[in-house]
Amino acid sequence: MDARTDKPRTRIQIRNRETILDAALEVFSQYGFRGATVDMIADAAGLSKPNLLYYFPSKEEIHVTLLSQLMDTWLDPLRALDAEGDPVEEILAYARRKLEMSRDFPRESRLFANEIVQGAPRIGASLSTELKALVDDKARVIAGWSAAGRIAEVDPHHLIFSIWALTQHYADFDVQVRAVLGPARDPLREAEVFLDSLFRRLLLP
Amino acid sequence: MDARTDKPRTRIQIRNRETILDAALEVFSQYGFRGATVDMIADAAGLSKPNLLYYFPSKEEIHVTLLSQLMDTWLDPLRALDAEGDPVEEILAYARRKLEMSRDFPRESRLFANEIVQGAPRIGASLSTELKALVDDKARVIAGWSAAGRIAEVDPHHLIFSIWALTQHYADFDVQVRAVLGPARDPLREAEVFLDSLFRRLLLP
DNA sequence: TTTCTTTTTGACCAAACGGTCAAGACCACG
DNA sequence: CGTGGTCTTGACCGTTTGGTCAAAAAGAAA
C-alpha cells in the first residue's frame, strides 16, 4: 500500500501528512518554492528526508497540495458576501473577514503571494476559471447595489481588488509595516479601524 | 584591473554591467533570488557564466546592487510630496506617481515584493532606518493637514500603506488581476480612475 | 508467539548549482 | 607592426539538491 497515492488510511499517515503540510507551509511561505528544500521541510516536520518522501512523492506535490487546499478556503469570505444583506455592511464585513485572515493565517497569505508574484505558474489556470467566475458573480451583485443607489458608484472589480490589496498587504508586507510603524504599535488592530472608515467613506452614496 | 571591484572604466564594462543588471532584474523579479540561477541571468544577458562573473563577483552581489539601486529611486515619489502644496492634490499626485511606477517598472516592483514577502533578509535594516525616517517625516506633514482640517482625519501611516498596497497590487498581482478581468480590459487605466475617486472620497474633509 | 504490512532510515546517485582557473581572443595605443 | 592590458571561454571543482533503494524497525492481527 503506497502512502503517497491513496487517501491516507492509518492514523500515522494522517498525523504525518498533517505535520508535513504544516512544516511545508512554514518553509514555503518564508522561502518560496525554489528557496525551500526538502531537507528544510523534513527538519521542520521532525522527519528524515526519505521518510517525508514516503508520504509525498515529490517536493512539488507537497506544494500543489498546499495551494489547492488553500484556494478552497481562501475564497470563503467572498462566497459569504450575501446579495440579500445590507450592501455597505456586507462589503465591510467582507473586508473585515479578509483582514482577520491576514492576522490569523499570514503564512497562507504569503504562500499565495509568492505564487502570484512569480506569475502563478502552478495555479494560473484556476485563476481565470474558478476565481474569475466567483468574482464576476459577486461583482454583479455589487453592480446591482450601485445601480439601485444603495452604495456609491464604484467599479465592482476594482473594489474587490482594493479589498484584497489592502488586507493582504498587512500579512505579505508585515516586515515593512512593522519596520515603519516601530515596535510600540499594533498594525492589524489599527488597520481594522482605518479600513473600516476608508470603505465606509468610499461606499456611502 | 578588476572589473568587479572598482567602478566601471571602459565602455565595454559599462555596457555589460548594464546588460547584466537588466537581465538579472528580469530573472530575479520572476523567480526570486533562490529561484534564479547564474546561468539563467547569463543566458538572458547573452554572456557566458564565467564572463558574467568577471563583472560581478557573485550572484548575491548582483542582487544587492539591484536592490540598493532600487531603494534609491523607489522612494522618489514620496520624497516629492510637498508640504506647501494643496493637501488633497499632493496625496492624489503621489498615488498617481506610484501607480505609474507599477505600470512602467513592474519588474522593479516585483523584485521588491519578493524581497519583502520573504522577510526582507537583505534590506531589512534600511527599512527601519531610511524608509521609516522618510515615512515618519511625511506622516507628520499629513497629520498637520488633518489637524488643520484641510483633509479628513486619517491615520497618516496607514494612509501611506494604503497607497502602497493599492498601487503595487497592480504590478505584483498582475497575473491575477488580468485573469479576473479578462483580456478585453485595461487594468492600469481603470485603476487610475478608481484610485483617484477612492482617495478623493477618503480625504475630502 | 508468528506472520504480514506499514513505517523509518543510512547509504547512495545523478543532476544542477555557484564559482574558479588558466589560457586564448580581442583591443587600444605607441 | 608589436605589446600590454582587457575581455572571453571551455574545462573543471566542490557542494547542494531532489529523489531512490534495500534493508531494518515498528505495528497490527492471529
- Distance, in Å, from the CA atom of B55 to the CA atom of B136, rounded to the nearest integer, reads 38
> Tell me, in Å, how far CA of B126 is from C1' of D14?
35
Nucleotides of D under 7 A from a protein CB: 5-11, 16-22, 28
Q: Shortest Cα distance from A15 to chain B (angstroms)?
A: 28
Q: Could you list the protein residues whose CB lies below 7 A from any atom in strand C? A: A 1, 3, 10, 12-13, 16, 47-51, 54; B 36-39, 49-50, 53, 57-60
Q: Which residue has the cell 505535520?
A: A19
The predicted pLDDT at position A11 comes to: 82
> Tell me, in Å, how far CA of B6 is from C1' of C30?
26
- Distance, in Å, from the CA atom of B184 to the CA atom of B178, rounded to the nearest integer, reads 9
The average confidence (pLDDT) of chain B is: 95
B191: chain A residues, CB-CB within 8 Å: 158, 161
Instruction: Report which of A68, A70, A58 is spatially closest to residue A20, judged by C-alpha positions.
Output: A58
Indicate the helix (H) or strand (E) that contains A44: helix A38-45
CB contact under 8 Å between B127 and A172, yes or no, is no
Banded pLDDT at B7 (limits 50, 70, 90): low
Q: Shortest Cα distance from B1 to chain A (angstroms)?
A: 35
Segments in chain A below pLDDT 50: none
Q: How many residues does chain B have?
A: 205
Nearest residue to C26 via alpha carbon and C1': B12
Grid coordinates representing B158 are 496607514
Which nucleotide in the DNA or RNA is closest to residue A34, CA to C1'? D17
A165: chain B residues, CB-CB within 8 Å: 165-166, 168-169, 173
What is the rounded radius of gyration, in angstroms, for the C-alpha atoms of chain B?
20
B165-184 pLDDT, tens digit each: 999 999 999 999 999 999 99
CB contact under 8 Å between B117 and A197, yes or no, is no
The predicted pLDDT at position A9 comes to: 74
Pick from A33, A162, A197: CB nearest B198: A162
CB contact under 8 Å between A135 and B166, yes or no, is no
Structural domains of chain A, with CATH: 11-69 (1.10.10.60), 75-203 (1.10.357.10)
The predicted pLDDT at position A97 comes to: 98
B29-88 pLDDT, tens digit each: 999 999 999 999 999 999 999 999 999 999 999 999 999 999 989 999 999 999 999 999
- Distance, in Å, from the CA atom of B40 to the CA atom of A69, rounded to the nearest integer, reads 32
The predicted pLDDT at position B11 comes to: 81
What torsion do the CA atoms of A78, A79, A80, A85 make, to the nearest 10 degrees?
90
Residue type, A101: M
